[in-house]
Structure 1
Amino acid sequence: MKLLMLGGTEFVGRSVVEEALARGWEVTVFHRGHSAPPPGAEVRIGDRSVPGGLAALEEGSWDAVVDTWKGAPAAARDAARLLSGRVGRHLYVSSRSVHPFPSTAGLDESGPVVDASPDDTSADDYARAKRGAELAALEAFGDRAVLARAGLVLGPYENIGRLPWWLGRIARGGPVLAPGPRELPLQYIDARDLAIWALDALHDGIPGGAYNLVSPTGHATMGELLDACVRVTGADAELRWADPDAVTAAGIEPWTELPVWLPPGELHDTLHRGDVSKALATGLRCRPVTETVADTWEWLRSVGGTAPLHPGRPAPGLSPEKEAAFWAQ
């Protein structure tokens, strides 16, 4: 297989490139040149957000293209149009955020989506930007387009900092604010499992359209995730489980200050209770949370213990002062 990866130097894109190279595929990576892709890939440099930025892709043909674009839909549209006659299939890594908030528990791919346009030149609204890029892929590739609607993504190379923050916090040891309940079900996907499913989908020619690409809800629990962090770090940390109402009453923000975690209720149902039966039926397999945590910790130590965050993203996590204040109340 000949694969064109639009991006391919960070997190999900890098996981896709590494998996494709491991399969012996010929991989071309189109990126802005800010960081190096995995060794073994052909490199083409360009910035699709500027006029003429796609010039490096005006020649060449590929069996498939994978795009993780999260900027203005018009840029995804221009790339898809340029490539549609020279690429067999298109897989766009989208997001379950294309569904309006809140979403009901058990929502599948047929649920309502936000209004968006492939011609939009703004990326201010993440949901609309992702949906607009979906429409761009569908417009150019039709039933040759696969929309992989990811949810929470974890694993090595994470440049958002959610799991790395928990690993770093637990590695410091001492009493750790663990937001309950322990049995709270999580729904996420390891970026490497996303990559495996995506390349299998392109190789096997699964039907086009949208697929919710996260684990079954409850594949892991909050307790299992944090217990795994304690084990792999070997830290002298004590998880102190707190009632979710007490956590939110203290002004601590779910998801941002306590990454991954959302208290039971509407938001948790939206993010952690989606229907993934369609992806499972087409081969999605999710590795154990212990493996995701261990490999992320190994990678984190290899880069000095601090995850390199995507430019412009605020670092997640609870400050030591705010955590101490919670225990003092």
Structure 2
Amino acid sequence: MQTILADSLHDESLATMKILFIGGTVFLGRALVDEALRRGHEVTLFNRGQAGPTPSGVEAVQGDREDEAALHALVEERAWDCVVDTCGFEPQIVQRSVRALAGHAEIYAFVSSFHAYSDWPAKGVDESFPLHACAPDASPDDVPYNALKAGCERAVEEGFPERALIVNPGIIVGPGENVGRLPWWLEAIARGGRVLAPGSPDRAVQLIDARDIANFMLDRLAEGGTGRYLTTGVRESTTMGELLGACVDATGAETELVWVDEQFLQDHGVAPWTEVPLWAPDIPEVIGTWTASSAKALAAGLRCRPVAETVADTWRALREGTYPRPKYLQGKIPVGLDKDKHDAVLAAWNDRRPQA
């Protein structure tokens, strides 16, 4: 494994690496590939060629990671300094990839999730918290969905003992976001007028730009770094009011944010998180959503750009069509409040307030 040639971050002084990306064309994967190419690394992509366009300057190997023959063809007469797996969701499939690559790479970097931790989002977790129980060869029928990432991590750590880099991101935003949480807010606010906002503008939120995760992971890999890191924004560095205010500023819209009581929203059947993206109400089940610790990653070099910069760049990318349109789906659940329901809840909130 080659190491950093000079003591600096995020620049061309990082030594060239050969990197295999499994996935690499959607959101965080694309951010990683774009930054790896910018730094001059030699990049191979292995995917089905269906999720997004393949950037120029890479070796593209088309294949399905579920196909043993495709994995064997991938590794034949090839080796890399590291593997970056951005699309592992099922332990048994990740295990198959890990076993095929074990003799062909020095480090296996796996993008996991906060969901791997059994106490999140009820508690603000750090790296010492327990993972869900899930075997490294589990299938989706064996465990609840949120536990699957924990099994994927175990598959990586078993196949690359002492040579695994596990990254647990929180809520990722930025240009190219494919779920559509921040894009939904930007487009709703861009229409102008009165826009429902949840709870209090002082509620802290904890977001991280995909490009900041990409920088951190590539820095760690260039140093030969392994281990586990929670990668999310700095705790209490941003509020919901500041986030939505940045959306108003970025779009330049004449928009009034109307802050509606959380209990009122729940009484009127408004679903947290999906219908109102990024709204985690003040209830025990999700009280730890925005209180995870990124201290270890920050000490190791993670740098988080201001949320206002992320918001402005996301809006610019949406307007310019730089990336495919978001799905506006979390799994199979639509993201965002239907306009008729939004207007009805807002009207009911206005009616209950005393008239001047």
What TM-score results when the alignment is normalised by the length of structure 2?
A: 0.87
DSSP-derived class of the 1:18 partner? helix
Aligned to 2:283: 265
Deviation (angstroms), 1:304: 8.7
Deviation (angstroms), 1:190: 0.5
Aligned to 1:74: 92
Deviation (angstroms), 1:104: 5.2
Residues in 2 aligned to 1:284 and 1:82: alpha-carbon distance in whole angstroms: 31
Aligned to 2:158: 139
Counterparts of residues 102-251 of structure 1 (less than 5 Å): 102-103=120-121, 105-122=123-140, 125-206=144-225, 208-251=226-269
Aligned to 2:271: 253
Could you give the per-residue CA deviations for residues 7-45 of structure 1, whole angstroms, max 9, x where no partner exists?
A: 001001000000000000001111101132222111001
- The 1:243/1:10 distance shift into structure 2, 3 A limit, reads same
Aligned to 2:65: 48
Could you give the per-residue CA deviations for residues 125-183 of structure 1, whole angstroms, max 9, x where no partner exists?
A: 33222111101110111111011001101011111010010011111111000112111
Contact 1:149-1:212 within 8 A present in 2 as well: yes
Larger-Rg structure = 2
DSSP-derived class of the 1:271 partner? coil
1:289 alignment partner, one of 294, 300, 307: 307
Contact 1:70-1:129 within 8 A present in 2 as well: no
Residues in 1 aligned to 2:273 and 2:122: alpha-carbon distance in whole angstroms: 19
Count of residue correspondences: 328
Aligned to 1:36: 53
DSSP-derived class of the 1:215 partner? coil
Residues in 1 aligned to 2:337 and 2:319: alpha-carbon distance in whole angstroms: 21
Residues in 2 aligned to 1:302 and 1:52: alpha-carbon distance in whole angstroms: 40
What TM-score results when the alignment is normalised by the length of structure 1?
A: 0.94
Of 244-253 and 115-124, the range deviating more from structure 2: 115-124
Could you give the per-residue CA deviations for residues 276-318 of structure 1, whole angstroms, max 9, x where no partner exists?
A: 1111110111000111101111111122998232886443000
DSSP-derived class of the 1:65 partner? strand
Contact 1:70-1:126 within 8 A present in 2 as well: no
- The 1:187/1:29 distance shift into structure 2, 3 A limit, reads same
Aligned to 1:274: 292
- The 1:310/1:251 distance shift into structure 2, 3 A limit, reads closer
- The 1:259/1:3 distance shift into structure 2, 3 A limit, reads same
Deviation (angstroms), 1:74: 1.1
Contact 1:164-1:307 within 8 A present in 2 as well: no
- The 1:58/1:20 distance shift into structure 2, 3 A limit, reads same
Deviation (angstroms), 1:245: 1.7
DSSP-derived class of the 1:24 partner? coil
Aligned to 2:11: none
* Letter of the structure 1 residue corresponding to residue 216 of structure 2: W
Aligned to 1:18: 34
